[in-house]
Amino acid sequence: MSKIRSQEEITARVKALESMLIDQGVMTTQAIDRMVEIYENEVGPQLGAKVVAKAWTDADFKARLLQDASAACKELGIGGLQGEDMVILENTDNVHNVIVCTMCSCYPWPVLGLPPNWYKDPQYRAAITREPRKVLSDSFEFTVPEDVEVRVWDSSSEMRYWVLPQRPRGTEGWSEEHLLKLVTRDSMIGVGPVAKVA
């Protein structure tokens, strides 16, 4: 599978679409700015990171999260459309989980925000189920050790999966606020690592 579309290509497409919507009177600049603000600050990966950091520091919350992710997220005021039936899958020393939606692009919006373009790409959806290690390595430059089992989970409108990444070693005693900075969107999809501990 070829490298996922470049950030420059995606940015150019977004700018072209934005200009077209404004020129045709479909949206205003202010409306677009507000939508961006919502997805940058009110919903999105930072909320998922908040959930992960709490699970890393609170064993009781983690147990509730693994039992019923949607209900546990609601404890933190996180929920809504596309988050009604979420299931979180825990990465361990022996298992690494990866998420895909082979039929379309079902995705847990309340905790991960908008799905990235590559997540909706038919090439990713087909290849990740057949050759997950190759896709992770070639497209995301992310290598899972050979002795770790890779499990691919297919989301649907009835069940939206996401990943609880492993807490990095060397972070004992860190606050939730410090830990959440390590959690990346890709780590919660399973296609990338958490950020490196500085």
What is the structure's pLDDT at 33? 76
Place of tokens 């961006």: 36
Across the chain, the runs of DSSP E, i.e. the strands, are 86-90, 95-100, 149-154, 160-164
The ranges assigned to domains in the chain are 1-42, 44-189
Set 106, 139, 155, 187: catalytic member: 106
Going by C-alpha positions, the residue among 110, 99, 94, 102 that lies closest to residue 42 is: 110
Set 104, 137, 156, 157: catalytic member: 104
What is the structure's pLDDT at 2? 46
CATH superfamily of 44-189: Nitrile hydratase alpha /Thiocyanate hydrolase gamma (3.90.330.10)
- pLDDT < 70 regions, the chain: 1-7, 10, 36-43, 81-83
Q: Tell me if residue 104 is catalytic.
A: yes
Q: Tell me if residue 187 is catalytic.
A: no
What is the structure's pLDDT at 5? 56
pTM above 0.85, yes or no: no
Q: Tell me if residue 73 is catalytic.
A: no
Set 2, 6, 73, 105: catalytic member: 105
CA 45 – CA 66 distance, rounded (Å): 18
Q: Tell me if residue 156 is catalytic.
A: no
What is the structure's pLDDT at 10? 67
Set 101, 139, 155, 187: catalytic member: 101
**How open is the CA angle 133-137-140, to the nearest 5 degrees?**
120
